[in-house]
Amino acid sequence: MVRIDGRGDGNGLIEVRGLSKTYQRGSEEIHVLQGLNLDVDAGDFVAFMGPSGSGKTTLLNLLGGLDLPSAGNIRVAGDEITRMSARKLTAWRARHVGFVFQMYNLIPVLTAFQNVELPLLLTNLSKAERRRHVETALAVVGLADRMHHYPRQLSGGQEQRVGIARAIVPDPTFLLCDEPTGDLDRKSADEILDLVDRLVGEYSKTVLMVTHDPRAAERARVVLHLEKGVLVDAVTAGRAR
């Protein structure tokens, strides 16, 4: 269940209250997010839409602990992340958040396997355990046979699938996808969206996705519209699951 009125019961996976983000540009204050409320349950698939500059990516950055709000708070699985120190927040991110970027952001000098392995280097898993996890993640995204390929040897869609494998390999609490199909052709975009669908459907992942693409948004259970830093409506969309 997704709510934007701040009346959630407090049992959701993500609970955002009065979230604001203001940037200072010279003497001018830019209010990117203004008193935003949001409740997301575990297993939800939420898409954020809105015009450029509406605050979608800023919201995603705040939910992922990459940035700190000017006001308000964010609670994820009981952790109040807006009060964490930078060091704690980094550790929290490693444990709870899987990022999927529009430009894939793979490290070009590492193979698909090594890229996916990166988040696991932060854990105490043995080399053999890491290998097993990476192979599983690559198998889930359908790239088990490409694990020793470098990003330059993969298509855009395959690169994004490696990016998704990297995001899911530490089994994070939720996935944050920033325009995951923004740089792909239609066919590849559909394959990526099918994959995200599977992660939500088969693996019960919680996914929050920013997109400009209405066809991508259709896949989500709920589409939230942001305008001038405010969530204006929540539309139940997508396919009934």
Partner 1 sequence: MKYRHLILSNLFRKKIRTGLTAGSFAVALFLFGILAVVDGAFQQGVDVAGADRLVVLNRVSIIQPLPLAYRDRLARIPGVTQVTFANWFGGVYQDERNFFPQFAIDRETYRQMFPEFVIPDDQWQAFLADREGAIVGEALAERFKWKVGDRIPIKGTIFPGTWEFNLRGVYRGQRVQDDTTQFWFRWDYLDERKAFGKGLVGWYTVRVANPDDAVRLVRTIDEQFANSPAETRTDTEKAFAASFVKQMGNIQLLLLSIGSVVFFTLLLVTGNTMAIAVRERTRELAVLKAVGFSDGFVLALVIVEAVVVAAVGGGVGLGLAKLFTLRGDPTGGLLPFFYLTPEAIVTGGTLAMAVGLLAGLLPAVSAMRLRVVDALRRV
Positions in the binding site for partner 1 (CB under 8 A): 61, 64, 66-67, 86-87, 90-91, 93-95, 99, 101, 103, 105, 107-110, 114, 118-119, 121-122, 127, 166
- Between 10 and 108, name the residue whose CB sits nearer to partner 1: 108
Residue 66 beta carbon to partner 1: minimum distance, rounded to whole angstroms:
5
- Between 12 and 211, name the residue whose CB sits nearer to partner 1: 211
Residue 110 beta carbon to partner 1: minimum distance, rounded to whole angstroms:
6
Helices (H), 78-155: 86-96, 112-117, 127-140
Closest alpha carbon to 42 in 240, 169, 221, 167: 221
Closest alpha carbon to 179 in 218, 212, 132: 212
Residue 205 beta carbon to partner 1: minimum distance, rounded to whole angstroms:
16
Those residues whose C-beta lies under 8 Å from the C-beta of residue 116, and which sit 6 or more positions away, are 134, 137, 138, 147, 162, 165, 166, 169
- Between 1 and 91, name the residue whose CB sits nearer to partner 1: 91
Closest alpha carbon to 33 in 232, 233, 210, 229: 229
Residue 30 beta carbon to partner 1: minimum distance, rounded to whole angstroms:
15
Residue 224 beta carbon to partner 1: minimum distance, rounded to whole angstroms:
21
- Between 75 and 93, name the residue whose CB sits nearer to partner 1: 93
Q: Show the tokens assigned to 140.
A: 């889930």
Cα dihedral sign, 239-207-127-107: positive
- Between 118 and 237, name the residue whose CB sits nearer to partner 1: 118
